[in-house]
Amino acid sequence: MKPSVRAYSLLIAALLPLSACGIPETGVVEAGEPATGVLDPGVTSAPSQSVPEAVPLVKVPLYFVEDGSLVAVDRTVPGPTDLGSSVLMLFKGPDDRERGKGLTTELPPAAEAPTIRTDGTGVTVQLPRSAGILSDTAVDQLACTVAVARLRQDPALGRAQVTVEQPGGRLAGRSSDDCPFGGARETPGDPGTAESTATPGTGGSAAGTGG
């Protein structure tokens, strides 16, 4: 059966707009370069190729106890650090490696951070009430840690004087001159930690002044 004239006319009318717009009747038109960087499902962005910046390591002076004598230890940690962070490390006590070497502490665990004030060569450490009254050795540990850390902050000072304010208004003073921190020796098997012990007659456990 031949299509009617009317149906043929309608077919021609439907095809004319497509030809006028330049749209092909069949086939696929490719344009541009293929897409790149397609992400896997669930990934929102491509991973960064930037190299993370290295964090410098610093040596923090801490004072612990070995056989009743004060011992200076340089603990290597990511820096920088300040007096407050040094004191918090001290109150946490020796780490596993330091305890393995026989180091102990007479400082109690700190529930609160002490308040530290500096004024030139002078440093005041105000202990919270939770710290209680410290032994002379514990005061030595705290004062020497703060004094030596202060001198490393500003070597031009030459010396540092530390006052420890204990609960109840009790004061104890120590000078960096009383602290064993010269002639440090490297610990075998641990090049990142140096220790120095007091030489008889040169201070050791510093004498207390009101402790």
Give the Cα separation of 67 and 106 in Å (integer).
12
| Mean pLDDT value across residues 36-59 | 64
Residue 63 is predicted with a pLDDT of: 97
The residue that leads in pLDDT, 114 or 189, is 114
Give the Cα separation of 17 and 28 in Å (integer).
19
Residue 128 contacts residue 112 (beta carbons within 8 Å) = yes
Give the Cα separation of 196 and 32 in Å (integer).
72
| Mean pLDDT value across residues 176-203 | 51
Categorize the per-residue pLDDT at 33 as very low, low, confident or very high, splitting at 50, 70 and 90: low
Categorize the per-residue pLDDT at 48 as very low, low, confident or very high, splitting at 50, 70 and 90: low
Model confidence at 191: pLDDT above 60: no
Residue 47 is predicted with a pLDDT of: 55
Instruction: Note if the pTM is more than 0.75.
Output: no
Domain ranges of the chain: 57-178
Query: Is residue 84 helix, strand or coil?
Result: helix
Exposed, middle or buried by CB within 10 Å (0-12, 13-18, 19+), for 143?
buried
Q: Indicate the length of the chain as a whole number.
A: 211
Model confidence at 160: pLDDT above 90: yes
**Residue holding tokens 């490696």?**
97
CB atoms within 10 A of CB 29: 6
| Mean pLDDT value across residues 100-108 | 95
Q: Which of 18-27, 47-56, 97-106 is predicted least confidently?
A: 18-27
The overall average pLDDT reported for the chain is 74
